[in-house]
Chain A
């Protein structure tokens, strides 16, 4: 990986993908919070 742009392309790809995964994680926590307020059938049976 000697070329600067090659390193940058691979790093940017991972940053974008992991940022989206992080966004999903944050959204998941906010959903869990909303779920405590309005439990669904699945949560009642758990």
Chain B
């Protein structure tokens, strides 16, 4: 194959790519290590350091995984929302930026769904011993389930819809779907829900023990770092997939030029043999 590596003029560029790959791998390793440390510390704080809640006892410790997962879900859906806006705004004038934004929207929505699933499973596991029921159709819980379903339909749309309009439709869905996030967040303030009210920033009655708050902070940092790592990996994979798809399309185009009949000499449309117009 006659690639850029055969040209000595490309050697500095090749060295630069290799160097940036090495730097990328080293920083990914450092990030993974940091995330591991944060997750261990978060677990330690949640199980061994945070005080036992007076009424609920040990079962309250689910809170340290449930609440950070919910916050991380909101943040990742917000990233998807912003990336979808960027995609729609730049898809005509800046197609490369639009492709990157589309990849980011997909990556953050997918990881957001993973965290939302954790929220929807850990919630009932807490509710059963505390409320005596697994599930109730109150506003907070129902709107969270709806949020999960909206983003699942976003992924299904991306998976099964065909044609160039798919990315546009997916971006529109991600933007409208995000409207459910403020409803989920404010539902405990707007309605009297069975779900507990806010413990932070929810008015004079919202309070959390500072020792519990430390455990929450560690777990937010840990799961945020883990989630961002997953988004970065998923984003790079999607970009790679886009590149492969583009190269495959270019090859097909190149091959179609090769099979075209040669133009008449002197018409100004002659091609070099074996070279496509791409």
Contact = CB atoms under 8 A, between A and B. Distances in A.
Interface of A: 1-3, 5-6, 8-10, 12-13, 16-17, 20-21, 24, 27-28, 31, 34-35, 37-42, 44-46
B122 A13 contact: yes
Contacts of B226: 17
A25 B114 CA distance: 15
Interface string B31-64: 0000000000001000100000000011101100
Contacts of B233: 24, 28
A20 B110 CA distance: 10
A44 B14 CA distance: 9
Interface string B188-205: 000000000000000000
Q: Which 7 A-B pairs have the closest CB atoms?
A: A44-B3, A40-B243, A9-B125, A3-B58, A9-B122, A9-B62, A38-B248
Identify whether the interface residues of A are mostly helix, strand, loop, or mixed. helix
A17 B114 contact: yes
Interface stretch (B163-171, B234-242, B259-267): B234-242
Contacts of B61: 1, 6
A21 B244 contact: no
Contacts of B237: 24, 27-28, 31
Given A21-B230, A45-B5, A45-B10, A38 B244 contact: yes
A41 B126 CA distance: 51
Measured as residues with beta carbon below 8 angstroms from the partner, the interface class of chain B is 35 or more
5 contacts: A6-B58, A16-B114, A39-B1, A45-B17, A46-B21
A24 B235 CA distance: 11
B187 interface: no
